[in-house]
Amino acid sequence: MGDPTTDFVAMMTLEPHGPDTYVGHGPRYPWGGLYGGQIVAQALRAAAETVDPMYRVHSLHAYFIRRGDHSEPVRYEVDRVRNGRSFVTRTVTARQAVGAILSMSASFQIDESVLDNQTAKMPGDVPLHRDLAHESWTTMYDRATVPAGDTVGRARGWLKIFGDLGDDPVLHACALAYMSDDFPTDAAISLHPDRPRPEDEDQYPFIAFSLDHALWFHRPTRADHWHLTTMACHGLISSRGLTFGEVFTEGGIHVASVAQEVLLRRNRDA
């Protein structure tokens, strides 16, 4: 087993601590504390541990309650809310010494052989990841941002988990959840009139936190392949930015949708 502070598969390998209770570890991130995507991904993994593999996750809805502490493990307590014939529901509470840091509900469904109709379209003007500069603030995934130009309220970029995740659909769903917390903040910041300009990029003017996060899994996918995330901020009010977006494969298949509300405060107001 690898190091959970540098290897995604190791980070998703939770330790059982009693009935429907699991403990996870993760790295210290550049800004300190924990990354919201890690807590969501580990909570999803914990929920899936209590669900028959015939059910596939189709959605999750999470509230970030407190900032996580990277120096201590996270305890995930799963509540088996409902076991139905075609749907299964779980709630997960993530805790540290300070108390609850996340509350998440996840729903799982048996796949049904019915109509598959896609109306969402991948933008046609987006350069491929191989034609962009790659930058990443984590050892967990690669990242290639699509330049926004003069467009405000938008953030687009390519993401891919490092390494081979194998054929476990839960692991791929967790990886997608992990990465989905990245670009929403960029979209909200892009709409703010005090957004950083290229000439003063070293003077980051904001403190930003994810408030809540929703993710819908439309189709199975491989998170260790490149995916395009396109996010748009629909407005800023009371220090909150509301963002919506889609996730596409390189071939244009719509595999997921994302919604997040971001808390955005200027450093001088925080």
* Helical ranges in the chain per DSSP H: 8-11, 36-48, 169-179, 183-191
| Half-sphere exposure at residue 191, Cβ-oriented, CA atoms within 13 angstroms | 22
Catalytic residue of the set 181, 182, 186, 212: 181
Catalytic (active site) residue 109: no
pTM: 0.93
Task: Give domain limits for the chain.
Answer: 1-110, 126-270
Among the ranges given (16-20, 61-65, 145-149, 264-268), the one the predictor scored with the smallest mean pLDDT = 264-268
Instruction: Give the model's pLDDT for residue 142.
Output: 96
Instruction: Give the model's pLDDT for residue 196.
Output: 65
Catalytic residue of the set 38, 105, 190, 210: 210
**Is 65 a residue whose pLDDT tops 60?**
yes
Catalytic (active site) residue 181: yes
State the amino acid at position 230 in one-letter form: T
Architecture of domain 1-110: Roll (3.10)
Tens digit of each residue's pLDDT (9 = 90 or more) over 94-123:
999 999 999 999 999 999 888 889 999 999
Please, what is the angle between helix 36-48 and helix 169-179, to 10°? 160
Would you say 95 and 101 are in contact if contact means Cβ atoms under 8 Å apart?
Answer: yes
Q: Which two tokens stand for residue 117?
A: 């109709």
Count of helix runs (H) and strand runs (E) in the chain: 4, 12
Tens digit of each residue's pLDDT (9 = 90 or more) over 243-264:
999 999 999 999 999 999 999 8
Catalytic (active site) residue 118: no
Closest CA to 256 of 181, 186, 167: 181
Q: Please give the Cα distance from 244 to 252 (Å, whole number).
A: 18
CA 142 vs CA 16, 160, 225: distances in Å: 30, 5, 10
Would you say 107 and 58 are in contact if contact means Cβ atoms under 8 Å apart?
Answer: yes
Identical topology for domains 1-110 and 126-270: yes
The CATH T-level fold of domain 126-270 is Thiol Ester Dehydrase; Chain A (3.10.129)
